[in-house]
Amino acid sequence: MKLAGRVGYVLLLAVAPVLAALYAGGTTIPGGTFEPWTPAMIDLDVYRRTGELVLAGQDFYNVEAWLPWIYPPFPALLSVPFSLVALDVAQIAWLLLNVACVMAICYRMGLSRWNLSLASTAIVWLVEPVRETLGFGQLGVFLVTAAVMDSMPGARVFGRRLLPEGWLTGVATAVKLTPAVIAVYNFFAGKRREGIVSFISFLACTAIGFVLLWGPSLTYWGRLLSGDSGLNTGIVFKTNQSVLGVWTRLMGEASRGGLVLSALVLVVGVAAAVLMHRAGEVPLALCLAGLTSLLASPISWSHHYVWIVPFGLELLRNKRLPGYLTVAGLFYSIWTAFAPFKLLPGDNNVELTYAPLHMLVDNFGVYLGVGFLVACIVAVLFTPWGRDRRHGQQLLRRPAQPVAAS
């Protein structure tokens, strides 16, 4: 098929997911009345405002606004192009880029042709983290796509890598610190070079931020090193689906115990990812590392859980896993994809007054996620399946013995 034909075919496959994205990201129903193309995309508004301040040479950290800029200075540079165009153009471009990323993830996970189009449409339409990411104009889809394109085995558009594995993860970490968990997983799973490349890439992007935005860089990194992580009272909100969020709702405050528990979950999650990697389940291991970065982060809004997309697709296609892992993982995926806890009352710290059943519903997704990480460790270390997988990988890594001449 000629290049023009391939491009036309891809564009045809993208029609349905693009229409779904335009609806999910650009349509609201205020007062029960259908209103087409009335997007909120409040986070994209923050990015555009920040881009304008960058161009004006003004401080974008100390701005009196409902939603402040909370990222490092480097991504402020990436927001500049969206501040140069009209609002509608920026919104549509943002949605189209997100659709391209969702389709890229699905393609890397083995989907193609009409299966690719239908799956991408369903994900945009039905999966709450993706749908809400589009509605808010958030960047979660981009971060997951960067890690998947960087380290996930699977089909590629180009026959070979253009840049070494690890660089995209490093760029994503320079945008938001949580993807650093992917680099840590790679390093301890034996992919030392990839982990180092991520670190160098992160440093290079951060250095660009210092060179071009010296003052804001001193402000951000100075605050972070002094212990000011930018945490806010939103930790208790029902949509904060992190370990610290659960702790805060149960204990009534975000205390040191919650941070210690988050650190423990981080260690457990990286261990689960490394063990699955050594058992030969590399795609699942990468997804575990991604989910760990969200569970252990102080604030992980429900729409941050875009990692549930490659995770769910991997469970559906992987026939090697034990049935209990597949069933448990798919249940966790469905729970996270539909987010039933969002039906609970919220705001004004009402979460602190939840009845036991409401508290269970709100925290259940985090319990499922942490439980799945523990189940993966148990499966690899203490079950016949895990022993067989580890033994098989050891045989694959063992160098072939030369055959003696007769």
**Region 66-79: what's the mean pLDDT?**
93
Cα–Cα distance, 392 to 141 (Å, whole number): 35
pLDDT score recorded for residue 358: 96
Residue 60 per-residue DSSP state: S
Distance of CA 279 to the CA centre of its chain: 23
pLDDT score recorded for residue 352: 92
Please tell me the least confidently modeled range out of 159-163, 273-277, 318-322.
Answer: 159-163
| Amino acid making up residue 51 | G
44, 94 contact by CB (below 8 A) = yes
pLDDT band at 401; cut points 50, 70, 90: low
CB atoms under 10 Å from CB of 32, counted, come to: 5
Residue in this structure with the two tokens 């990411």, named with its chain if needed:
133
CB-based contacts of 374, cutoff 8 Å, min separation 6: 268, 272
| Amino acid making up residue 46 | V
Please name which of 311, 309, 305, 324 lies closest in space to residue 281, comparing C-alpha atoms.
Answer: 311
* pLDDT above 50: residue 406: no
* pLDDT above 80: residue 2: no
Range among 36-45, 230-239, 303-312 rated most confident: 303-312
* pLDDT above 90: residue 161: no
* pLDDT above 70: residue 53: yes
Cα–Cα distance, 299 to 241 (Å, whole number): 7
152, 273 contact by CB (below 8 A) = no
Residue in this structure with the two tokens 């981080």, named with its chain if needed:
266
Cα–Cα distance, 82 to 165 (Å, whole number): 28
307, 287 contact by CB (below 8 A) = yes
H/E run at residue 17:
helix 3-26
* pLDDT above 60: residue 341: yes
Cα–Cα distance, 380 to 368 (Å, whole number): 18
Axis-axis angle for helices 256-278, 282-295 (nearest 10)? 180
pLDDT score recorded for residue 76: 96
- Phi, psi dihedral angles at 341 (to 5 degrees): -65, -15
Cα–Cα distance, 113 to 12 (Å, whole number): 10
- pLDDT one-digit tens code per residue, 99-149: 999 999 999 999 999 999 999 999 999 999 999 999 999 999 999 999 999
| Amino acid making up residue 162 | L
Cα–Cα distance, 334 to 325 (Å, whole number): 14
b (16+ CB within 10 A) / e for 270-289:
bbbbbbbbbbebbbbbbbbb
Paired residues of 240 in beta bridges: 301
Secondary structure (3-state) at 38: coil
Please tell me the least confidently modeled range out of 45-49, 306-310, 396-400.
Answer: 396-400
pLDDT score recorded for residue 84: 96
CB-based contacts of 389, cutoff 8 Å, min separation 6: 279, 280, 281, 320, 380
| Amino acid making up residue 169 | T
b (16+ CB within 10 A) / e for 34-67:
eeeeebebebbbbbbbbbbbbeeeeebbeeeeee
* pLDDT above 60: residue 297: yes
What percent of the chain is predicted at pLDDT more than 90?
A: 77
- pLDDT one-digit tens code per residue, 345-354: 988 889 999 9
| Amino acid making up residue 101 | C
Secondary structure (3-state) at 28: strand
CA atoms within 13 A on the CB side of 171: 16
pLDDT score recorded for residue 62: 86
Average pLDDT, the chain: 91
- If you compute the radius of gyration of the chain from its CA atoms, what whole number of angstroms results? 22
* pLDDT above 80: residue 398: no
| Amino acid making up residue 327 | V
